[in-house]
């Protein structure tokens, strides 16, 4: 059965889509786990990156049709071995209207619609990653109610930390009001300027506030990561046939993040088993 992860922060431009696509890639290519990315953002950036990764000119299947038809199983596109996506498109901006039409007087059913649609897919995957817009909205409600764990992205700037705090507060609201079972799996710091005084202070403040929830692995800016947005995620080779060292370095950071998150998940699993 799949474990579902939502990657979030209520501040835009902090690297959520980058983390979703890279973790999904490493989870599939390195860990060999059956992985699905669900793009809930009408901008479709995750869809674009993974289409390039799989050399797919256009991803026709999309989440909008899946939500309208009540069936996501027909909207899956294979990217690489072990890696699939349910892509998004601009038409998904009409999600509030879709939910209002289907559930005019039932807020809880509207908020848990994605969770219901993912149920038939659970047995086909080990991991499902959800990419969402940075807003308190039907998109984030559905993602947070469908996920088992939240991975919070923290860019090293004050507004990003504020966005993370708001995100965690909203998680608590969903738990108190709608009995959400979402746990924070980890907070991943993305450093804009390695060694910068402000950047270091933001990470330190986050660690003082959230303790071991903040991963020790820090994602530092690399030009190679920016290139993946244009060319798709890959590991290139040199003329001598060796793997490109810069690609290895870029991917290695996300493998380390994945390892830390898996270790956190093992702790959660043992805690749940002890309570049973």
Residue 248 CB neighbours (<10 A): 14
Mean pLDDT score of the chain, rounded to an integer? Answer: 93
**Two tokens, residue 79:** 């990217």
CA geometry: angle 183, 99, 149, nearest 5 deg: 10
- CATH number of domain containing 17: 3.40.50.300
CA dist 264 and 276 (Å) reads 19
Report yes or no: 80 and 28 within 8 Å, Cβ to Cβ: yes
pLDDT at 276 over 80: no
CA dist 266 and 272 (Å) reads 10
- H-helix or E-strand containing 29? helix 16-29
The sign of the torsion formed by the CA atoms of 14, 17, 20, 25 equals negative
- Top pLDDT among 199 and 160 is at 160
Q: Supply the pLDDT for residue 158.
A: 73
- Residues 93-117, mean pLDDT to the nearest whole number: 97
| pTM to 2 decimal places | 0.95
pLDDT band at 11 (very low <50, low <70, confident <90, very high): confident
* Nearest C-alpha neighbor of 29 from the set 68, 103, 99, 80: 80
**Two tokens, residue 113:** 């619609």
pLDDT band at 24 (very low <50, low <70, confident <90, very high): very high
pLDDT tens for residues 170-222?
999 999 999 998 999 999 988 766 656 667 888 888 899 999 999 999 998 88
% of the chain exceeding 90 in pLDDT: 75
Report yes or no: 67 and 113 within 8 Å, Cβ to Cβ: yes
Q: How many domains is the chain built from?
A: 1
pLDDT at 96 over 90: yes
CA dist 271 and 118 (Å) reads 25
CA geometry: angle 222, 226, 230, nearest 5 deg: 155
- Residues 143-170, mean pLDDT to the nearest whole number: 90
Instruction: Label residue 204 exposed, middle or buried (CB < 10 Å: 0-12, 13-18, 19+).
Output: exposed
- H-helix or E-strand containing 176? helix 158-178
pLDDT band at 13 (very low <50, low <70, confident <90, very high): confident
pLDDT tens for residues 234-258?
998 888 888 989 999 999 999 999 9
Q: Supply the pLDDT for residue 203.
A: 86
pLDDT tens for residues 35-77?
999 999 999 999 999 999 999 999 999 999 999 999 999 999 9
Q: Supply the pLDDT for residue 192.
A: 61
What contacts 158, CB < 8 A, 6 or more positions away? 202
CA dist 122 and 109 (Å) reads 19
* Bridge-based pairing state of the strands 127-131 and 35-39: parallel
Tell me which residue range forms the domain holding 153.
Answer: 3-275
* Bridge-based pairing state of the strands 83-86 and 77-80: antiparallel
């Amino acid at each position: 059965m799949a474990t579902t992860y939502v990657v979030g922060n209520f501040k835009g431009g902090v690297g959520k889509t980058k983390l979703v696509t890279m973790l999904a890639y490493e989870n599939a290519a390195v860990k060999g786990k059956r992985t699905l990315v669900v793009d809930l953002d009408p901008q479709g950036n995750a869809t674009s990156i993974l289409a390039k990764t799989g050399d797919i000119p256009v991803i026709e299947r999309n989440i909008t049709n899946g939500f309208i038809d009540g069936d996501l199983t027909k909207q899956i596109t294979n990217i690489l071995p072990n890696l699939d996506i349910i892509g998004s498109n601009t038409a998904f901006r009409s999600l509030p209207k879709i939910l209002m039409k289907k559930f005019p007087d039932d807020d809880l059913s509207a908020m848990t619609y994605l969770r219901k649609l993912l149920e038939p897919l659970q047995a086909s995957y080990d991991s499902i990653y959800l990419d969402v817009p940075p807003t308190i909205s039907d998109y984030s409600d559905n993602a947070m109610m469908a996920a088992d764990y939240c991975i919070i992205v923290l860019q090293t700037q004050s507004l990003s930390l504020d966005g993370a705090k708001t995100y965690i507060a909203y998680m608590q609201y969903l738990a108190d009001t709608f009995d959400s079972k979402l746990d924070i799996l980890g907070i991943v710091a993305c450093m804009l300027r390695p060694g910068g005084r402000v950047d270091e202070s933001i990470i330190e403040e986050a660690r003082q506030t959230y303790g071991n929830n903040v991963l020790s692995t820090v994602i530092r800016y690399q030009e190679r990561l920016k290139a993946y947005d244009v060319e798709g995620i890959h590991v290139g080779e040199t003329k001598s046939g060796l793997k490109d060292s810069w690609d290895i370095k870029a991917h290695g950071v996300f493998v380390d993040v994945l390892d830390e998150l898996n270790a956190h998940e093992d702790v959660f699993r043992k805690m749940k088993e002890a309570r049973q």
